[in-house]
Amino acid sequence: MKKQLIIMLTMGAYILAGCANHSHQHDEHNHDGHNHATEQHDHSSHNHSDHNHDHSAHNHDHSAHAHNHENGISLKPGEVEEIGLTTETATLAPFTSVIKCTGHVIGATGDVLTIVAPQSGTVHYNRAWVDGSAVSAGTALFTISSRNVGSGDIAQRARISYETALAAYERAQKLVQDNIISQREFETTRESYEQARLAYEAVGSGNNSGSEARASKAGYITKLWVGEGDYVEAGAPLATVAQNKRLQLRADVPQRYYNELPTITSANFVTSYDDNVYELAQMNGKLLSYGRNAGETSYFVPITFDFDNRATIVPGSSVDVYLLGKTRNDVISVPMQSLTEEQGLFFVYRRLCENDFEKVEVKLGSNNGSRIEILSGIKPGDKIVVNGVYRVRLAGASNALPPAHNHNH
């Protein structure tokens, strides 16, 4: 009995020991499972965070790349040569200050001839003259006839008087040699002849149709003052002829620039009928004078130049004038044809490499008709498109880069 009790106690102790050991192992298993879950969670959190960080960095770099090429323009290989594209390197250089105003071109003193009527009468064109017609020295432009006006044709009466006086003078020359008439009578006859000759020449030594008005110099008709059949008095203007060898440029300067007039040295101008910029410095131009006051009814002060007409410039033309004054150093300027305008803003195209260009907004200063000052937007060393601007602009409009793309993960 006692032996059985010992055996039962021993078995109970063994069972209790096994249960305790199993419980411990279970706790360790749960703990390990917990750590594993925690480790998995941290690992996932770590990977996810790192991945998001890399993705953000990727997007940031991509955005920066898109920004750098926002105004980028690419031409096709060979297109630069095809369109004759040229550039100019921006540099700091002297630039002359400019006053822009309006003016007109007139014939220089002594270069313009006004043809007047030699007698009173009606006007008849010898040819179908028009403004711009070329005439030679001595050309008969008009005939003035008074045949059916007043006491008859003055030219005809002058011709008759002249021929009568000439005949009397020639006869007197023979008589005085034979001492038939006195020297005094001969001088009286000669005086009458000279007066008749001057009267005849004064009416243009006319033919049977009337007196002729002739051009004393070669040139071009710039103004016709009368029409066919008009009645004119003696001395009335009929036409203006200009040789166009020397012209004058008269500019009307606003009063606010009066103090700057003494600094003006030359001028450029653009006519209304072409796009050429005429530079007086290249046309033997010189400053003649500038007004010392504006007058009672004018808000402008005149300034006058004269120059050789080495081009086809029409006297009387209205022009845009660029008066050139003080010279400033270290100024960036570009040719006028380099500019484009969009909604009041101005741009140039900068060359990045052989076929790549960039559109750049610029702020403008003064211009001299051919070049314009750039206050901001470009720097020395930039290569600016001069010829081919329109094609680059079209390429920029048609080949614009698409918006930057994003990667979603």
At residue 212 the predicted structure's pLDDT band, cuts being 50, 70 and 90, is confident
Please say whether the beta carbons of 284 and 245 come within 8 A.
no
Q: How far apart are CA 135 and CA 217, in angstroms?
A: 8
For the chain, percent of residues with pLDDT exceeding 70: 73
The per-residue pLDDT of the chain, averaged, comes to 78
> Do 73 and 396 contact (CB within 8 A), yes or no?
yes
Give the burial class of 127: count Cβ atoms within 10 A of its Cβ; 0-12 exposed, 13-18 middle, 19 or more buried: exposed
* Cα gap 342→347, rounded to integer Å: 8
Neighbours of 386 (CB within 10 A): 17
pLDDT in tens, 74-99: 888 888 999 999 999 999 999 988 89
- Check residue 62 and give its pLDDT: 40
Task: Please state, in angstroms and rounded to a whole number, the distance separating the CA atoms of residues 160 and 384.
Answer: 78
Confidence of residue 295 (pLDDT cuts 50, 70, 90): low
Note the pTM of the prediction, 2 decimals: 0.48
- Give residue-wise pLDDT tens across range 122-169: 898 999 999 888 899 989 899 888 766 555 566 677 778 888 989 999
Q: Check if the beta carbon of residue 210 is closer than 8 Å to that of residue 121.
A: yes
Distance between CA atoms of residues 131 and 83, nearest Å: 41
Token digits for 372? Answer: 């314009």
Cα(66)–Cα(59) distance, integer angstroms: 10
Tokens describing residue 331: 């100024």
Instruction: Judge whether residue 335 has pLDDT over 90.
Output: yes
**What is the reported pLDDT for 9?**
52
Residue 273: band (very low, low, confident or very high) from pLDDT cuts 50, 70, 90: confident
Q: Determine contact, residues 245/309, Cβ cutoff 8 Å.
A: yes
What was the pLDDT predicted at 29?
42
Measured distance CA(221)–CA(113) in Å, rounded: 9
Report the candidate in 346, 405, 350 with the shortest Cα–Cα distance to residue 375: 346
Q: How confident is the model at residue 68 (pLDDT cuts 50, 70, 90)?
A: very low
Place of tokens 């360790």: 28
| C-alpha–C-alpha distance, residues 200 and 163, integer Å | 9
What local confidence, expressed as pLDDT, does residue 161 receive? 84
Q: Are 300 and 323 in contact (CB under 8 A)?
A: no
Residue with tokens 């920029």: 396
- What six digits make up the tokens of 298? 């004018």
- For residue 90, the model assigns a pLDDT of 96
Average confidence (pLDDT) over 3-32: 47
Question: Across the strands, what pairs with 259?
Answer: none
pLDDT for 61 beyond 70 = no
Residue from 102, 107, 108 nearest 318 by CA: 102
- Residues in the chain, overall count: 409
Return contacts of 294-300, CB within 8 angstroms, 24+ apart: 294/255, 294/258, 299/254, 299/255, 300/101, 300/252, 300/253, 300/254, 300/255
Q: Which two tokens stand for residue 159?
A: 């011709």
What's residue 259's pLDDT?
Answer: 85
**The pLDDT value given to residue 200:** 76
Q: 216-246 pLDDT, tens per residue?
A: 888 888 889 999 989 888 889 999 888 778 8
pLDDT higher than threshold 50 for residue 115? yes
* Ramachandran class of 100: left when φ > 0, alpha when ψ lies in -120 to 50, beta otherwise: beta
Q: pLDDT at position 288, please? A: 92
* Confidence check: pLDDT of 36 > 60: no
Enumerate domains of the chain plus CATH numbers.
75-92+332-398 (2.40.420.20), 99-108+245-322 (2.40.30.170), 112-242 (2.40.50.100)
Look at residues 350, 376, 373 and name the one whose alpha carbon lies nearest to residue 363.
376
Residue 148: phi and psi, rounded to 5, are -105, 25
Contacts of 372 (CB under 8 A, 6+ apart): 333, 334, 335, 336, 339, 364, 365, 366
